[in-house]
Amino acid sequence: MTFVKFQPAKEFDKSFYGNCGKFYKDYPDLNLNTGFTFSPRVDISEDSNKFYFELELPGVKKDDLKISYQESVLTVSGEKKNSLKDQKEKELLRNERYFGTFKRIFTLPEGINPDSIEAKFEDGILAITVAKVEVKSPKEKTIEVK
């Protein structure tokens, strides 16, 4: 007779994390900060005239950023490069920083002036301002029935 060691916690880990992995593969565009990739944090605010976006991008160079706007969608993408890969004379003892490409997508409401979008990158903070324009409601017109 052979005895098999039963480890319920280990079996749970296998099935749970295996199913989570399948979920992420099914939805690759889902932007969840799982701790394994770099995804910049963002603060979004507004006043009566503008929307304000502030993204934390420590270690990212200005030349590695791309900002685009198309059909009410503001996209910020770029890459945080790993500077440790090129240092062959050093032995890496611990690495807690995340590197890689990122993409943040924001859907904006109607009434945005695309020509007014401005971006400023300083001290690791990308600040984007988007001006609002007044959306005019169509005036009601009464049509005479003949």
Q: What is the CATH number of the domain that holds 46?
A: 2.60.40.790
Residue 139 has pLDDT above 90, yes or no: no
Tell me whether residue 7 is in a domain.
no
Q: Is 21 a domain residue?
A: no
Q: 64: domain range?
A: 35-86+95-131
Domain membership flag for residue 140: no
Q: Structure pTM?
A: 0.64
Render pLDDT for 57-102 as a digit per residue (tens, 0 to 9). Answer: 998 999 999 999 998 899 999 998 887 766 677 777 777 778 889 9
| Domain membership flag for residue 127 | yes
Q: Is there a domain that residue 101 lies in?
A: yes
Q: Is residue 65 part of a domain?
A: yes
pLDDT of res. 4: 59
pLDDT band at 31 (very low <50, low <70, confident <90, very high): very low
State the Cα–Cα distance between residues 141 and 45, nearest whole angstrom. 37
Task: pLDDT band for 7, please (50, 70, 90 cuts).
Answer: low
- Distance CA(103)–CA(96), nearest Å, equals 21
With a pLDDT cut of 70, the percent of the chain lying above it is 72
**What is the Cα–Cα distance from 124 to 41, expressed in whole angstroms?**
12
- Number of structural domains in the chain: 1
Question: How confident is the model at residue 85, as a pLDDT?
Answer: 66
Interacting residues of 109 by C-beta distance below 8 A, sequence separation 6+: 72
Where is average pLDDT lowest: 53-57, 93-97, 122-126, 127-131? 93-97
